[in-house]
Amino acid sequence: MLEDFDRVRVARFERVARFWRNHQRTGRQEAIAQRRYALTVPITIAINSSALAVGNRYTSSLATGKDDTSSDLAAGIDYITSVLAAGKKTSSSELHLLHPCHRE
C-alpha cells in the first residue's frame, strides 16, 4: 500500500517536472518578453500622465472641434522616453508636472 502511494507520488512529481520542462521559455522568448514589458511600462506611464495633463482641455476640444490631444500624447511619450534614457529617478507626480503641457 505504501509503495503504491510512493509510486503515485513520484509519477505525479515526474508529470509536473515534465510539464515545466516542456513549458519553459527559450532565452529568445524570455528576451522578447522582457523587452515587451520594458517598453509597456513607460508607454503606459506616458499615456496616463498625458491624459492627466490634458484633463479638461480634451472635453473643451470636443466642443471647439480642435483636437490637440494626439500632439500632447506624443510630447508626453517623448518626454518619458528622454527621462528613462537619461536614467533619472522621477516620481509620477513629478512627471505630471514636468509634462510639456505644464511648461507654458
Range of the domain at 43: 28-102
The answer, as to whether pTM is greater than 0.85, is no
Domain presence at residue 49: yes
CA trace torsion 31, 36, 37, 41 (10° rounding): 150
Render pLDDT for 15-65 as a digit per residue (tens, 0 to 9).
Answer: 988 888 887 777 887 777 777 766 666 666 666 666 655 554 444 444 445
Domain presence at residue 85: yes
pLDDT category at 6 given cuts 50, 70, 90 is confident
Domain presence at residue 6: no
User: For the chain, how far is it from start to end, CA to CA, in angstroms?
Assistant: 80
pLDDT category at 104 given cuts 50, 70, 90 is very low
* Overall number of domains in the chain: 1
Domain presence at residue 12: no
Look-up of cell digits 499615456: 47
Domain presence at residue 3: no
Instruction: State the cell numbers at 63.
Output: 466642443
